Structure 1
Amino acid sequence: MVIKDNVKIGNNCIIHPFCYIGENTQIGDNCILYPNVVIYKDTTIGNNVIIHANSVIAADGFGYYQEDGKHKKIKHIGKVIIEDDVEIGANTTIDRAMLDETVIKKGTKIDNLVMIGHNCKVGQNTILVSQVGIAGSSKIGNNVILAGQVGVADHITIGDNVIVTAKSGVGSDLPPNGIYGSSINAIEWKKWKRVITILPKLPEILKKLEK
């Protein structure tokens, strides 16, 4: 276990072997960090937070610019804030903000293998199921459910009480209080090949039907 300078850990916390806690990190009361959790510097974690094995909190966000034909790294100097009663599954990553804060609000539950990009804000009592990916600067409301393998593009806002069904891609803002989905269920392969052959011809077929 490695605990760097100026770290504050509250009462009744359990820190399992091989964890790393970076500089200026604050951890509240009654928290559990399972083996191999890595928390980079300047992170704030509330009370009653559980972080499962191999998760990484506050690594750099994915940001680059082009110069002379090369990708140049954009420095990320922001923070991650995880509020009370949050649970984070194994192998999940939550990136630090570029300048501001990446925030996971209280009561939210995050499954294994979830990716949350820099500057994201995830609301209260939200559920993120396994393999959800949220790109940078998106805002997820309160009481939202993102089912397995949902992908959210950058700078998207999802309103409160929204459900997005499994394998859906969210490329535009979603108003509150709705159920959304665009996933395609598996069908017999030969039938799918016939369907995919017809799809490019649909505009022409529609024009003929309109006449």
Structure 2
Amino acid sequence: MILQELVDDLGGSLVQGDPEWMVDGVNSCEKAGAFDLAFADSDATVTAALASNAGVVVLKPGAAKQYPHGKCIVESDQPKLWFAKAAQLVKKQTHVAGIAHSAVVAQDAKVDQGVLVGPCAVIGTHARIGDGTIIGAGAVIGENVTIGRHCHIYPRVVIYPGTTLGDHVVLHAGAVLGADGFGYVRDSISGAYAQFPQQGTLVIEDDVEIGANSTVDRGALEETRIRRGTKIDNLVHVGHNCDIGENVILVSLTGISGSSTVGKGAVLAGQVGIGDHVHVGPGVILGGQAGVFSGKTISNEGQRPGTVMFGTPARPLKQVLREQAMLAKLTREARQGKKAEVPESDELPA
């Protein structure tokens, strides 16, 4: 891909170099070659990037007073983002469309041209697969599943019947989408459990990526929805009837119980636990191992932008640290046989 095409697609300014320069890939400053793109987003990395063998360097406007002769320079306000997007554009497509001999494809399934179906994959009746999609080896696509264009379904993914995927969706190995939610009704007399109907749907919107061995359940009577641009790490579970907003980040070992919502742009770090019927507001950041009790709402209202919530129940980090300091003081004074004084300004959890 030529450099000018990248600039036209991604913006920024080509301030030095040949607009027809060929860019074959992206790489680190240490490993980049003449046809690679590198980036620098801090003063510390500018010198290394400009001294590297990279043919093209993207950096912030005015990052250096003088640029080395013969090197292509692109200026962007967000060089790391520019670099990441360029990587997607120059990525070479290595797959060849076609259906492996050992794959099993239902006769009434609609598989568009340009689709690759790997060995031992199974595509069920009335399924629809969009152009440019890759179905990995051993993947199972259930009946009435719809998969959009240019998706990548890695090996051993299982997509249950009735699930819908948009365009440019990535599902890593072992992910399971659309399984029954964990919903049971207990007989108060016998103690036995009967499954509540799990007959809803699952919708995954465009540009969603779901990590290896993560699971997303279908709705019980309605739908579960993962909205555009959300990124889900490995080993995450999303329960039935959940609505996960746009551009949400869910990090490994996070669990979200049924009928919960997560607002646009929220970040849930590793091992966060969300009870059922919880509402996490837009932009909320929950730190590692934070927890939200069932039925609660957590938002940024009254907090500074970027406030990180920690602990269970989740609350601002500053408050958590104050409580820990007070607990340490109480413990210390108890050992010394003194009565601790608790300042009125400190709020201890109920």
TM-score tier by shorter-chain length is 0.7 to 0.9
Specify the alignment match of 2:183 in structure 1. Answer: 63
Specify the alignment match of 2:310 in structure 1. Answer: 181
Choose which of 269, 283, 290 in structure 2 pairs with 1:161: 283
| Alpha-carbon distance in 2 for matches of 1:26, 1:209 | 60
Deviation at 1:180, TM superposition (A): 1.1
Larger relative contact order, structure 1 or 2 (CA cutoff 8 Å, min sep 6): 1
Q: Structure 2-normalised TM-score?
A: 0.53
Cα deviation digits, residues 7-35 of structure 1 (max 9, x gap): 00000000011001111110000000001
Query: Which structure has the larger Rg?
Result: 2
Q: Structure 1-normalised TM-score?
A: 0.86
Kindly indicate whether residue 286 of structure 2 is the aligned counterpart of residue 145 of structure 1: no
Choose which of 88, 100, 107 in structure 1 pairs with 2:229: 107
Specify the alignment match of 2:130 in structure 1. Answer: 10
CA spacing shift, 1:118–1:209, aligned 2, 3 Å: closer
Q: Which runs of 5+ in 1 are unaligned?
A: 184-193
- What letter is aligned with 2:287? T
Deviation at 1:209, TM superposition (A): 6.2
Regions of 4+ moved over 3 Å? none
Specify the alignment match of 1:124 in structure 2. Answer: 246
Question: Relative to structure 2, which stretch is displaced further, 152-161 or 64-73?
Answer: 64-73
Deviation at 1:179, TM superposition (A): 2.5
CA spacing shift, 1:74–1:209, aligned 2, 3 Å: closer
| Alpha-carbon distance in 2 for matches of 1:137, 1:126 | 17
Percent identity, please: 46
Specify the alignment match of 1:40 in structure 2. Answer: 160
User: When you count strand as a share of all residues, which structure comes out higher?
Assistant: 1
| Alpha-carbon distance in 1 for matches of 2:185, 2:275 | 19
Cα deviation digits, residues 147-173 of structure 1 (max 9, x gap): 000000000001111100001111221
| Alpha-carbon distance in 1 for matches of 2:259, 2:184 | 15
Q: Tell me the matched-pair count.
A: 194
Deviation at 1:75, TM superposition (A): 2.0
- What letter is aligned with 2:311? S
| Alpha-carbon distance in 2 for matches of 1:175, 1:127 | 16
CA contact (8 A) 2:252 2:270 kept: yes
| Alpha-carbon distance in 1 for matches of 2:141, 2:246 | 25
| Alpha-carbon distance in 1 for matches of 2:183, 2:205 | 25
Structure 1 vs Structure 2 CA RMSD: 2.1
CA spacing shift, 1:209–1:174, aligned 2, 3 Å: closer
CA spacing shift, 1:33–1:66, aligned 2, 3 Å: same
